[in-house]
Amino acid sequence: MMRKFLGALALTCAAPLASANTVSVCVFDVIGANGDIFNVMKDYALEVRPLGVNLQLKPYTDEGVAVGDFNAGQCDAVAATDLRTRPFNKFTGSISAVGALPTYDNLETLLATLSQPRAANLMKSEGYEVLGIFPVGAGYLFVNDRSINTAGALAGKRMATLDYQKDAIHMVNYVKATVVPSDITNFAGKFNNGSVDTAYAPAFAYEALELYKGITPDGGVVEYPLAQLTVQLIARDGVLDGDTAQKAREAAWGMYPQVMNLISSQEAAIPDEKWIRIPQQDIIGYQEMFRENRLEMRDGVNNAPSVYDPRMLKLMANIRCASNPGAAECTADDRE
């Protein structure tokens, strides 16, 4: 009882401060106000309220509109996937670089590192500041035919590809598949009605976007993380003072176990027989293919867009090599 009283007292004391620092946030969640991302942001709002920050959340089911309203000054901050927020901070926007974080342990190490005060300067770029980074889950390849289980099998297949995700477009072209321009509001429908053969999404989409329809009866989900997707909270620089912004990032990091429990439940909801396991020797080949593509998209060579920040790629490579020092990439001459 005393603990509850003290907690209530703390919130009461913080309330006057919060009213003086109200921050409006455009929040993208494809499901809207009832979606998991929006609920995570509601929990985050409670976490930062004792800091004197009052987040006013506005749900958007169209990510482009959410970012557009933020750009137009309709919100002080925006919560959206790093695929959309990359223009605001190329460094944190490179977390989703293809194949760069093959395990959740790698992701945990990275996000713990980025939440530290010594990383604060990297959270600012071009007049914007990252106030929090939240995992959405690994991105998996959903296929309508279980025989599509190698890079070679993707040749000629129609792939729903977000038309603003330049790295994904480059990767699809690299494996000689066919880009079918899509956006986050229609890619699931295209996969489910058979307009495309494959789609790329985190596990939550299996039920929330009904991708189980698209893999029925002969498809599945390739059990290899193509990238680690995150939602990032981006504010205009100066919306919060430096100390409060740092504490806000630490609050976001403090929610990591909660968010990962949610992701684990989403992945567990996919029936075991729907997962497509690939041999270890194939995984090694994929990792090298992804690494070559990351280098191209870091340097902007071989018709690749320059979309990845070399500092982030180096940091993630160091994390991978710390967890797997025997990997060939860890002694390669062209290390990231």
pLDDT digits (tens, 9 = 90+) for 128-138: 999 999 999 99
pLDDT for position 134 = 98
For residue 97, the tally of other CB atoms under 10 A from its CB is 25
Instruction: Report CA-CA distances (Å) from 269 to 105, 205, 231.
Output: 21, 11, 21
Which has more pLDDT, 271 or 150? 271
For residue 214, the tally of other CB atoms under 10 A from its CB is 26
Phi and psi angles of residue 324, each rounded to the nearest 5 degrees, phi first: -145, 70
pTM of structure: 0.91
Lowest mean pLDDT segment, chosen from 143-147, 221-225, 263-267, 302-306: 302-306
pLDDT digits (tens, 9 = 90+) for 53-74: 999 999 999 999 999 999 999 9
